[in-house]
Amino acid sequence: MFKVTGILSAATVITLAGCTYNDGTPNQPATGAVVGGVTGAAIGNAIGDDTRSTIIGGAIGAAVGGAIGANMAQQEHELNQQLAGSGAVITNTGSQLRVILPEGVTFPTGSATVASSFRPALREVARSLNAHPNSTVRVVGHTDNVGSAAYNQQLSEDRALAVARILVRDGVSSSRTTYSGRGYSEPITTNATAAGRAQNRRVEIVITPTR
């Protein structure tokens, strides 16, 4: 057991060394390889409780995780190009892509009708999702804290549904698409200022790789 632990620790240190670019920003494909490697090692260890099984499982998991990370990085790059100037923001967490749609460019104030000027941007998101089909798509609505909890909950759900419907209408499979509303329960910044409330009013398209 000591030998297995030592090998895994060394492998983890070596792999982690490649998880950032020279400027310190995360290297998402490498992050995927780390996650996959740890998961694969655990699977290999469960299948055969010896050093060889653990190493093989880790190598397989790292390869799969690296491929997923590379695909996510590619999709992130494409989305940044396709949505440039639209107001949408793409964030790669290492395990998910989040396309953040601010209320200011997506909806009229207090409305759940997607602005016609933003429809082309959603068409590009749908095109990207169709080009990268191995993922689930979760559309989540968020509001600020102005108004009652019930009003904001309903508005967040209606906005998420409106975006999800457009994605499905543009060819994204309904079987991989879900939606939900969070009201004002998950702010990303303070609701004490107008600028903060504007950031909290958003819809997020959460893309999670399945393989």
How many Cβ atoms from other residues are within 10 Å of residue 170's Cβ? Answer: 16
For residue 46, the model assigns a pLDDT of 56
- For residue 148, which amino acid is it? S
Confidence of residue 32 (pLDDT cuts 50, 70, 90): low
Whole-model pTM above 0.75?
Answer: no
DSSP 48: S
The phi and psi torsions of 171 (rounded to 5 degrees) equal 110, -5
3-class SS of residue 165: helix
- Report the percentage of the chain scoring pLDDT > 90: 66
With both helix axes pointing from N to C terminus, report the angle between 119-131 and 149-169 in degrees, rounded to the nearest 10.
Answer: 60
**CA neighbor of 9 nearest in space, from 37, 50, 36:** 37
CA distances (Å), 145 to each of 59, 139, 161, 185, 205, in order?
A: 47, 20, 20, 8, 21
For residue 150, the model assigns a pLDDT of 98
Residue 116 or 63, more confident: 116
Each residue's pLDDT tens digit, 65-114? 567 889 999 999 999 999 999 999 999 999 999 999 999 999 999 999 99
What span, in angstroms and rounded, lies between the C-alpha atoms of 71 and 87? Answer: 23
Residue 69 or 29, more confident: 69
Q: What domains, with CATH codes, occur in the chain?
A: 2-71 (no CATH), 83-209 (3.30.1330.60)
Each residue's pLDDT tens digit, 146-192? 999 999 999 999 999 999 999 999 999 999 999 999 999 999 999 99
